[in-house]
Structure 1
Amino acid sequence: MRRIAIPTLVLLYTACNPSAKKEGNTAQQNDSNITQVTPTQVPAASGDTGTLAFGFSNEKGNMIAVSMEDTLKDATIFTYTISAKGELIPGIKFLKRKQEGKDENGRQMAHNFNNADGYIFASTGGNIDADETAVLLSKDFMTKRKFLPLKGIAGDSVPVTIKAMVEKDKQRSIKRYKLLSRVDGKSNIALFEFEGKEGSMLAALAFISDGKAIYYDYPAQYDDMSTWSVDDGGEFGLDYYKILAAFDNNGHIELVTDWYDTEGANAYFLREEDGKFKVVKQGYRYMAPL
């Protein structure tokens, strides 16, 4: 089980998960078209880490917990979240800090909400999706950027010209892909898995607009059992990846993503810098079956 993580960014880590999520089996690769996932991507984009937090909700979707592993300097600053319909909703209110209960099982999931420790919030403006990672945003966070509504895509395909552009950019043939969302009716967000090169594997998230793409790469070394994540069978798992939110920050695109595997969910806050997405903040929600 080879996994890799950015340990300083893992937010939802528990004692029951001593090896923080190690996504992206990033063996040494020399492909110049691949953006390596390393902590060196983070410092230039670290200014908003305290104004966004990841958590999980109760079964009704009207309460949110943020693990105490993510030490919040001021929990009262969070005032927004993302609804089950993908809408920005106000009305988040910090209630209390809670210690774990006697039946705590280490899972950051709705069924364990009452037993988990954490900073507890009420969502008074609407319910969130209990199956997805919760996203908390501060007022300061939202005053600096524009929220971009997402539109789901069903059955659409990527135009041949766009696929040709992506293949040229990455110098690889597309093995399969999935359109995830559309933004403002003109920009698409898609996820691509490419054919391997001598064991060097690559998947990439792409924000496509005006004939250009902004990428976030997921390089890995092939393993027939666990390539990008544990027990993935050598495939990326396009159907388990979702865009939770999109923002325009003074002309720079930002995305919040949620990616599930057999043990849990990785949440990323990504920001466009120098034509590529870089990690601003990462969270992990442990969800392995009992």
Structure 2
Amino acid sequence: MKSLFLAILLLTLYGCDNSQNQSKPPVKSENKEQLISPYFGFLNQQKDSLIALPMDQAMESPEKYNYVIIENQVSPLGFIQNKSDNKESNGRQTAQNFANSEGSLFTIKNEIKSGDFGMLVNQAFLSQYKIEPFTKVERETTPEVKEKLEKKYKRKISKSTTVAVLKDQAEFNLTVFENQQDSALAVFSYIKEDQLINLDFPATYDDISTWRVDDGGQFDNEAFQVLTVLRSEAGISFVSIFWGAEGYELNFYQPKKDKFTSAAQAYGYSSPL
């Protein structure tokens, strides 16, 4: 009798354990792609290829950069090869010198309608950042915003212009303050209701070259341009180009409290021949 009772008990326990095992979902092995630091490149005239620009950090494993963001467009990207420059190169990182330039060469798989520069990323980046459409404008900054900026920086404004508007009516403004002795200051601002995030451009005033070589001491609205606006859980980020007489500087700026900081940067030489 005891043997029969023990057998029934063991059979019951096995059935319960087997039932519990069947109810558990299978464990899936996740192979998530890691986020890699963005890289910059310039396009050829046909806008179907791209060469990565020299940057502070070396480009490791170029085949991992499988997407490119060009203004408001995203395209799959294919790595072709690392190429050297040739004797015909004039040293410029421009579309006109593309065939002669050195660097990591990629093919752009989608048709690109506009844009001369791209930010190379991977799928993990696109999972976190989404393109935010914006409209370029050129109008005087509102008195309320000017007052807020003057109060924050404790100096008078010389000129302030709204240069872009997002769909939610947030704005980007470019402000140049009056010089204080030889101290010059320009500020690029994101403004959404009470939120204010700034990117400061302090400089020592020079009537030949203040912010850029041969800028005549002026911060030109056409020189600093927003190429792409991105939104993530951290807030608004953007890609910009800052033109100078001899070349250009590309940056990917991210918000950090009330300031924008550069997360990726590249330079290109484009001095006129």
Q: Does TM, normalized by the shorter one, top 0.5?
A: yes
Q: 1:198 to 1:68 in 2, by over 3 A?
A: closer
2:228, 2:240 within 8 Å by CA — same for their partners in 1?
A: yes
SS in 1 for 2:168: coil
For residues 244-265 of structure 1, the C-alpha deviation after alignment (integer angstroms, 9 at most, x for no partner) is 1122231332111101010111
1:193, 1:204 within 8 Å by CA — same for their partners in 2?
A: yes
Displacement of 1:183 in angstroms is: 1.9
* Counterpart position of 1:160: 143
SS in 2 for 1:156: strand
* Matched letter for residue 72 of structure 1: M
* Matched letter for residue 124 of structure 2: D
Q: 1:80 to 1:157 in 2, by over 3 A?
A: farther
1:51, 1:78 within 8 Å by CA — same for their partners in 2?
A: no
Displacement of 1:212 in angstroms is: 2.7
2:43 corresponds to 1:60: no
For residues 261-288 of structure 1, the C-alpha deviation after alignment (integer angstroms, 9 at most, x for no partner) is 1011111111111221112121111111
Q: Measure, in 2, the Cα distance between the counterparts of 1:89 and 1:248.
A: 14
2:87 corresponds to 1:98: no
SS in 2 for 1:51: coil
2:247, 2:271 within 8 Å by CA — same for their partners in 1?
A: yes
* Counterpart position of 2:214: 231
For residues 34-71 of structure 1, the C-alpha deviation after alignment (integer angstroms, 9 at most, x for no partner) is xxxxxxxxxxxxx96x4311111111111110136663
Q: Measure, in 2, the Cα distance between the counterparts of 1:166 and 1:268.
A: 23
TM-score, length of structure 1 as denominator length: 0.77
Q: Measure, in 2, the Cα distance between the counterparts of 1:196 and 1:277.
A: 23
Q: Measure, in 1, the Cα distance between the counterparts of 2:251 and 2:50.
A: 18
Q: Measure, in 1, the Cα distance between the counterparts of 2:167 and 2:193.
A: 12
How do residues 117-136 of structure 1 correspond to structure 2 at under 5 angstroms? 117-127=102-112, 129=114, 132-136=116-120
* Matched letter for residue 124 of structure 1: K
Q: Tell me the number of residue pairs that the alignment of Structure 1 and Structure 2 aligns.
A: 239
For residues 196-231 of structure 1, the C-alpha deviation after alignment (integer angstroms, 9 at most, x for no partner) is 001100001101111331001000011111111111
State the structure with bigger RCO (CA 8 A, min sep 6), 1 or 2.
1
2:189 corresponds to 1:202: no
Q: Measure, in 1, the Cα distance between the counterparts of 2:161 and 2:222.
A: 8
How do residues 1-290 of structure 1 correspond to structure 2 at under 5 angstroms? 50-67=36-53, 71-83=58-70, 86-127=71-112, 129=114, 132-153=116-137, 155-290=138-273
Displacement of 1:191 in angstroms is: 1.1
1:51, 1:77 within 8 Å by CA — same for their partners in 2?
A: no
Q: Which 5+ residue runs of structure 1 have no aligned equivalent? A: 1-46
1:89, 1:126 within 8 Å by CA — same for their partners in 2?
A: no
The structure number with the bigger radius of gyration is 2
1:258, 1:267 within 8 Å by CA — same for their partners in 2?
A: yes
Displacement of 1:128 in angstroms is: 5.8
Q: 1:184 to 1:169 in 2, by over 3 A?
A: same
Q: Measure, in 2, the Cα distance between the counterparts of 1:279 and 1:108.
A: 21
Q: Which 5+ residue runs of structure 2 have no aligned equivalent? A: 1-33
Percentage of matched positions with identical amino acids: 27
1:62, 1:128 within 8 Å by CA — same for their partners in 2?
A: no
2:53, 2:267 within 8 Å by CA — same for their partners in 1?
A: no
1:92, 1:122 within 8 Å by CA — same for their partners in 2?
A: yes
1:100, 1:117 within 8 Å by CA — same for their partners in 2?
A: yes
2:139, 2:161 within 8 Å by CA — same for their partners in 1?
A: no
Write out the 4+ residue segments of structure 1 that deviate beyond 6 Å after TM superposition.
Answer: none
